[in-house]
Amino acid sequence: MRHYLKHAFFLLLAWLTLSCSADNAQTLEGRVTGIADGDTLTVLDATRKSHKIRLLGIDAPERGQAFGEKSRQSLAKLAYRQQVSVDWQGRDSYGRILGRVRVAAADCRQGSCPRTVDANLEQVRLGLAWWNKKFADTQFPGDAGAYESAEGEARAARAGLWSERNPVPPWRWRYANRNEADKVRP
């Protein structure tokens, strides 16, 4: 029973955190200093404060999972050591900022290029992350439709993880790889 209450508390906390509206959006500017996986990175702001960012609206394969390392490498290619803008509106249950990361186009040669590329969307478009439809209502206006469309195109093109016959979504992979004592059955 205690385990159930603990799980229910974290679900409630996550729901409250994710239910922030886009009206409360903020922007964080900084340089990407670390890439944890295909949907998590670290940004150092102008005050030299470090922020963990969880890419909003997507879920990338885990490191031990098929395409996990390719997804991480793709995000690194897009954003590592780049100046980024992070539009965000809340935090997850781990305290990470939930945000849309914008970077300059790779072919931009100017010193201060506009940050017009949505890294979250790029990961989905390349077939290296799932659009996380479970949290579509927490995305910025228009993003859910764009991410859904990008996933459909990646599936049709059999890009990245969609080249596998039956790719396993990371939320299922994480559940299957937990200790039996940690699994909560619905």
Domains of the chain: 2-182 (2.40.50.90)
- pLDDT per position as a tens digit, 46-84: 999 999 999 999 999 998 899 999 999 999 999 999 999
Please state, in angstroms and rounded to a whole number, the distance separating the CA atoms of residues 49 and 70: 28
In single-letter form, the type of residue at position 68 comes to: G
Helices (H), the chain: 2-18, 68-79, 119-125, 143-157, 170-176
pLDDT (mean) for 81-94: 95
152 pLDDT above the threshold of 70: yes
In single-letter form, the type of residue at position 129 comes to: A
What's the predicted TM-score (pTM) here? 0.82
Q: DSSP secondary-structure letter at 128?
A: S
Helix (H, G, I), strand (E, B) or coil at 55: strand
- Residues identified as active-site: 54, 62, 96
Write out the two tokens for 112: 């201060």
